[in-house]
Amino acid sequence: MKINFIQDIASPHNNVFIQALEEDQSIDLSLWYCVHNPEMYGWKEDLTNAIKPANMYKQKSIDFKFLWHCLKNTKEKYLVVGWQNINTKLLMLLFFITRRSYAVWFDLPNDERERNFVKRFFRNFFYFILKHSNAHVFGVGQMTLDYFKSRGFKEKHLTNLPIFVDVSKNPEDYRKNKADIFKKYNVTDDGFLLSAGSRLIYEKGFDILIDAIAELPDDIKSKVKCVIVGKGEEEENLKAQIEKNGLSDIVVMEPWMEFGEFTALIANSHAFVHPCRFDAFGATIFGHALGVTVLGNIGAGAAYDRVVNGENGYLFKNNNPEELSKLIEKIMKEKSKLKTLGDNARKTALKWSPENGVALLKEKIK
């Protein structure tokens, strides 16, 4: 089976799934990207060609060579990740006109974002085209599937295909770095390390996390260290919020880390916090894969899908730092239960291995 995997930009999490596709002996995989290693994320590794040499197509102008390749090779399979550029939009329109079968992979669309009339028109037009195409829609998580159902897509054309993480490594391998990480962030023997990370934008809810820590009783708060990893437009606001609440010795802001470094930080945390007001899926999956308890906002897709209260973490309501603060206090007081919660988190992650995702994709596009 020849599969063309088409997206804008390579990413660490999609590369986990792509690696599993490449290792499947029944698949001949071609990769297509239109942006090579964007500087905004600070990734040092060449993610574009990390698994195999990739094909590049144009981002801002029509790429006739790319479109012709897709049209003429009718026996090949096509998985289009989103529709973020002119060529993927045109490809979907051409597949609609020619009645070609193909697949798309979407995370949760954000309809709350402000768009002018023209953008809204074309957005709805392409949803109409997609709904009436011979397309199978893979959605990242149940929230995404619910969204497409609300737009009238038939359930038989929808499948949950989440973001995948590498679950082949033993979390204990990362915990060898515990002493160095605790020393770096001044975590005491009776201390409690929280970690979180993503783009620093309002939707990601890091202000909720900071407010939650600020509301902790002083005797609890003095034991907490929280590391927030990322860059973005809210960085200065978050730093000001930390300063205003007198949390400079408690909450640490770190820029983007290499993925292995971020993984080690999460693995050695007592809990991972996924505070997003809105997240198509998100970092809950990293906490679970590393056997770490997750405190997740119900507005975050992965938390909504995977966190079971009292089993592998806890959920809290959107925009509710008071509830998150109480959960932090709860797990600190019940520290002895974190091992069981973490073991259950790991079991949850193992149910969603990249290899299982490959089998699901093959079944739906055969």
pLDDT of the residue at 112: 76
**161, 183, 202: which is the final residue of a domain?**
161
pLDDT of the residue at 9: 92
**Do 320 and 265 fall within a single domain?**
yes
**Do 264 and 338 fall within a single domain?**
yes
C-alpha distances out from residue 45 to 42, 52, 177, Å: 9, 13, 22
139-171: per-residue pLDDT in tens?
Answer: 999 999 999 999 999 999 999 999 999 898 899
Domain that holds residue 157: 2-161
pLDDT of the residue at 42: 60
**Do 22 and 59 fall within a single domain?**
yes
pLDDT of the residue at 83: 82
* Structural domain contains residue 363: no
| Short-list 2, 10, 54, CA closest to 28 | 2
User: DSSP strand E in 236-299: where?
Assistant: 251-254, 271-274, 293-297
pLDDT of the residue at 46: 86
pLDDT of the residue at 221: 97
Q: What does R_g of the chain's alpha carbons equal in angstroms?
A: 21
**Do 93 and 186 fall within a single domain?**
no
CATH of the domain at 213: 3.40.50.2000
Tokens of 196: 């979180």
d(CA 110, CA 315): 21
275-331: per-residue pLDDT in tens?
Answer: 999 888 999 999 999 999 999 999 999 999 999 999 999 999 988 999 999 999 999
* Structural domain contains residue 359: no
* Structural domain contains residue 362: no
**Do 6 and 152 fall within a single domain?**
yes
8-state DSSP, 53: P
- How are strands ordered across the β-sheet holding 77-81? 55-56, 28-33, 2-6, 77-81, 101-106, 134-139, 158-160
**Do 138 and 221 fall within a single domain?**
no
**Do 80 and 140 fall within a single domain?**
yes
In the chain, what is the greatest distance between 2 CA atoms, to the nearest angstrom? 68
**Do 153 and 178 fall within a single domain?**
no
Tens-digit pLDDT profile for the chain (366 aa)? 999 999 999 988 899 999 999 999 999 999 999 998 665 556 667 899 999 999 999 999 999 999 999 999 999 999 999 888 999 999 999 999 999 999 999 998 888 778 888 888 999 999 999 999 999 999 999 999 999 999 999 999 999 999 999 898 899 999 999 999 999 999 999 999 999 999 999 999 999 999 999 999 999 999 999 999 999 999 999 999 999 999 999 999 999 998 889 999 999 999 999 999 988 899 999 999 999 999 999 999 999 999 999 999 999 998 899 999 999 999 999 999 999 999 999 999 999 999 999 999 999 998
**Do 154 and 181 fall within a single domain?**
no
**Do 157 and 175 fall within a single domain?**
no
Provide the number of structural domains found in the chain.
2
pLDDT of the residue at 38: 61
**Do 88 and 130 fall within a single domain?**
yes
C-alpha distances out from residue 280 to 96, 301, 341, 365, Å: 26, 5, 24, 23
**Do 295 and 195 fall within a single domain?**
yes
* Structural domain contains residue 360: no
pLDDT of the residue at 110: 81
pLDDT of the residue at 111: 81
pLDDT of the residue at 261: 95
pLDDT of the residue at 41: 57
